Structure 1
Amino acid sequence: MSSSASAWVSAARPRTLPLALSSIWLGSFLAAFYGTFNWEVVVWASVTTVFLQVLSNLANDYGDSIHGADSAHRQGPQRAVQAGLITPKAMRSAMIVAGILSLCSGLYLLYVSVGFVKEVFFFFLGLGLLAIAAAITYTSGSRPYGYAGLGDISVFIFFGLVGVLGTFYLHAGWLGWELLLPATSSGLYSAGVLNVNNIRDIESDRLAGKRSVPVRIGRQKAVYYHTFLLVGGIIVALAYVLLEYQSPWQFLFMLSVPLFFRNLKAVRQYTDAKALDPYLKQLALSTLLFVLLFGIGHLLASY
């Protein structure tokens, strides 16, 4: 792979895609559990989410480099714009392309799922445009909300509530309050991945004026917060199973629980950024495994 291609792949951050897809697949598994599943929905929702996540990653690379968070003080992986591997102009152009692709894919997703039912179509179109805006303005623009410490809320909403509940609705055409529980699990775990990232970058973020949650509350309290996110995700998943219990298979997701406690132990133990960095990927993959086990367990319970 050429150095230019390698720089673009690095900027797209493929390791973040499993986490982005987790909420889509969880919503789809739940739809299958309730007997309302559409293959076109899960395929096009996944494609749209990949484009959105790539857009977010490119915008994050661009924004953090422009605002100084990806400076020489940063201890995580090097970013493409910061390193001069991709020019800011080229990165902005790539962001436009990713935004257009996510919009086109999202429009086709709406066409195959809800058709042209005006109220529903425009509601989801609005959500899609909001997701694009959120992806871009997390670290880009004159007032990036990630620098105000609001990234966790955004991740919880889009990787939890919107991702799971929105996908489920596109499959089923209805929602129930109990679905808030697995959607909350997805949102809490996703916020956990961001929290590991922010704990790793706490010093460089502080120097850049990026007021992430760990910068605001300090490392020790950020570890307590991490405990709340991971343990909370397990508790609400258990609550959903107990509420919708049909078979012991529904507890299959508990096999993933040791991985979350391994991540929590690492966040408590490692203060060096390089030692902590692999646990971003580990938590993202643990979340994906949780979703797969949760989904398979519920599918087995429904037969």
Structure 2
Amino acid sequence: MSKTKAWVHAFRLRTLPLALSNIFLGSLLAAADGKFSIKIFLLASLTTLFLQILSNLANDLGDSVSGADNENRLGPERAVQSGVISKKEMIRMVFVFALLSLTAGLFLLWEALQLLSYTQAFVMLGLGLLAIAAAINYTVGNNPYGYNGFGDLFVFLFFGLTGVVGCYFLHTGDVNWSILLPATSVGLLSVGVLNLNNMRDIENDSNSGKRTLVVKIGSEKAKKYHLFLIGFAILSACAYVLIHWNSIYQLLFLISLPLLLKHIYVVAKNKVAQELDPELKKLALSTLLFSLSFGLGLLL
């Protein structure tokens, strides 16, 4: 594998649609309320993409250092594990994307200052710094939270609640608390992607000391947990629509339902962990479809 190809693999481009789901939904919710800024949308998207790549690179580094990435891992080969990219090179790239995330976030806040007070801007800056720290500390550091079963919680907070509500707030300068319902939907679907990843790697994670939630509860309970994540995500979206019912177009998000139901069936019947790998991409794209269709349904 060439070094260029190894870097592309390390960026894990298939995770980027999932990262953009919360930005698209937050922006469309704001647009449905009559407030939308193309600059905010583009800068928020750029910041989120940088954060996602940062998280992917830090995960590659952390799992390699800890030994979680080894010849027994079922997922795609990692860059540092393969030896094509050195630990030193990966550390340098982690710093680069941390700086890119911070820079894009500062430009985003600068653009949003026309709606925000300085106090609100500092709060958003604090959340941004926490997001950068969370992206790195998932598997890097003396006590990475991803190794102690807290990855699901952090994904829910940053790829659901914070991502959607924060993006909406930057567009509008206000918070409509009912959007916590669709934000919960995206957060739970994002956790579902992580849960799939951990179900695929359960044996290797357990052997290498990576105590993910799946390792703690076991594969069968993880399947039930997965059903809860997808099911409650759909119910949360339905609850928002019922509260704000205006037209039949608000049910547009149900076009993602057949994909999600098929996905649940595949996971429930799965017996070979490696066969879950294609489902990660499918659920990520289904989440993006959900976000776009839910938001567009409010605009029609």
Q: Same fold (TM over 0.5)?
A: yes
Other-structure match for 2:142: 142
CA distance in 1: counterparts of 2:74 and 2:274, whole angstroms: 7
Other-structure match for 1:252: 252
* CA drift at 1:165: 0.2
CA distance in 2: counterparts of 1:114 and 1:164, whole angstroms: 19
CA distance in 1: counterparts of 2:272 and 2:71, whole angstroms: 16
Other-structure match for 2:208: 208
Worse-matched range after superposition: 261-270 or 208-217: 261-270
Deviation string for 1:25-53 (max 9, x for gaps)?
A: 10000001110111111100000000000
**Residues 1:280 and 2:250 are matched in the alignment:** no
**Residues 1:269 and 2:242 are matched in the alignment:** no
Other-structure match for 1:93: 92
Q: Give the TM-score normalised by the residue count of structure 2.
A: 0.98
* CA drift at 1:120: 1.0
Other-structure match for 2:233: 233
Fraction of identical pairs, as percent? 55
Other-structure match for 1:121: 121
CA distance in 2: counterparts of 1:285 and 1:199, whole angstroms: 19
Whether the aligned pair in 2 keeps the contact of 1:76 and 1:273 (CA below 8 Å) is no
CA distance in 2: counterparts of 1:160 and 1:37, whole angstroms: 20
CA distance in 1: counterparts of 2:113 and 2:67, whole angstroms: 43
Q: Aligned-pair RMSD on alpha carbons?
A: 1.0
* CA drift at 1:274: 2.9
How many residue pairs get aligned? The number is 299
* CA drift at 1:273: 3.1
**Residues 1:35 and 2:38 are matched in the alignment:** no
CA distance in 2: counterparts of 1:74 and 1:271, whole angstroms: 17
Other-structure match for 2:65: 66
**Residues 1:178 and 2:178 are matched in the alignment:** yes
CA distance in 1: counterparts of 2:216 and 2:273, whole angstroms: 18
- Which residue identity lines up with residue 257 of structure 2 in the other structure? V
Q: Give the TM-score normalised by the residue count of structure 1.
A: 0.97
Deviation string for 1:46-99 (max 9, x for gaps)?
A: 000000000000000000011011111111111010110100000000000000
- Which residue identity lines up with residue 66 of structure 2 in the other structure? H
* CA drift at 1:255: 1.0
- SS at structure 2 position matched to 1:277: helix
Other-structure match for 1:290: 290
CA distance in 2: counterparts of 1:272 and 1:85, whole angstroms: 29
**Any unmatched runs of 5+ in structure 1?**
none
